[in-house]
Amino acid sequence: MAERALDRVRAGDELLERGPGRRLGGRDPPVGRDHLPVVEEHHPQVDAGGVGCHGGRGRRRAGRAGRRPGGRCAGRRSGGRPDPVGPAAGGEDEGGGDQHDRARGEQGGGPTRTVHASSIADGTLLGHPVVLITGNEGCDRNVSRLAQEELLSEAGLVAVVGTTCSSAALGQADVAFSAARIPIVSPSNTAPALTDPETHERYYFRVAWNDKLQGAVMANFAAFRGWRGVTVIAQPDDPYSDQLADAVASQARRRQVGVRTVLWTTGGTAAAVAAAATDPRPVVLTLLPPQCRNVAAAIRQEPALAGVPILVSEACGDADFLRALGPDPGDVYASVPDTRGANESRAFYTESFVPAFTNRVGTGPTVAFHAQAFDAAQLIFSAIRRAAVGQPGGELLIERKRMRDALLRIAGYPGVSGVVTCSPSGDCADQVAIGIYRAPAWPAVVGPSAPPVFSQSLTLGDLESS
Residue 43: CB atoms within 10 Å:
12
> Residue 318's pLDDT is what?
94
**How far is Cα of residue 253 from the mean position of the Cα atoms in its chain?**
28
Phi-psi region of 38 (alpha: psi -120 to 50; beta: other; left: phi over 0): beta
Same fold: 2-208+341-430 with 212-339+434-465: yes
> Residue 138's pLDDT is what?
85
DSSP-assigned letter for residue 460: H
> Residue 199's pLDDT is what?
97
- Residue 248 · residue 215 · CB < 8 Å: yes
Each domain of the chain, given as residue ranges in start order, spans 2-208+341-430, 212-339+434-465
User: Which one, of 170, 183, 204, 193, lies nearest residue 247 by Cα?
Assistant: 193
What is the per-residue DSSP string for 1-29? -HHHHHHHHHHHHHHHHH-TTPPGGGSPP
> Residue 343's pLDDT is what?
55
Torsion of CA 354, 357, 359, 360, to 10 degrees: 180
> Residue 106's pLDDT is what?
55
* Side-chain-side CA neighbours of residue 363 (13 Å): 13
CATH of 2-208+341-430, one of 3.40.50.2300, 3.40.50.720, 3.40.50.300, 3.40.140.10: 3.40.50.2300
> Residue 117's pLDDT is what?
34
* Side-chain-side CA neighbours of residue 435 (13 Å): 20
> Residue 414's pLDDT is what?
87
**Whole-structure pTM value:** 0.77
User: Which one, of 115, 94, 33, lies nearest residue 349 by Cα?
Assistant: 33
User: Reduced to 3 states, what is the DSSP secondary structure of residue 216?
Assistant: helix
Residue ranges for the chain with pLDDT beneath 70: 1-123, 341-345
User: Which one, of 94, 91, 188, 194, lies nearest residue 137 by Cα?
Assistant: 91
The β-bridge relationship of strands 39-42 and 114-117 is antiparallel
**How far is Cα of residue 260 from the mean position of the Cα atoms in its chain?**
29
Phi/psi of residue 7, each to 5°?
-55, -45
Q: Which fold has domain 212-339+434-465?
A: Rossmann fold (3.40.50)
Cα(234)–Cα(244) distance, rounded to whole angstroms? Answer: 9
Amino acid at 126: L
> Residue 195's pLDDT is what?
98
> Residue 131's pLDDT is what?
80
Cα(96)–Cα(105) distance, rounded to whole angstroms? Answer: 6
Residue 271: CB atoms within 10 Å:
13
Cα(113)–Cα(134) distance, rounded to whole angstroms? Answer: 14
What is the per-residue DSSP string for 136-172? --TTSHHHHHHHHHHHHT-TT---EE--S-HHHIIII
Cα(191)–Cα(107) distance, rounded to whole angstroms? Answer: 11
> Residue 178's pLDDT is what?
98
* Side-chain-side CA neighbours of residue 154 (13 Å): 33
> Residue 155's pLDDT is what?
82
DSSP-assigned letter for residue 427: B
Residue positions counted in the chain: 466
- Residue 210 · residue 190 · CB < 8 Å: yes
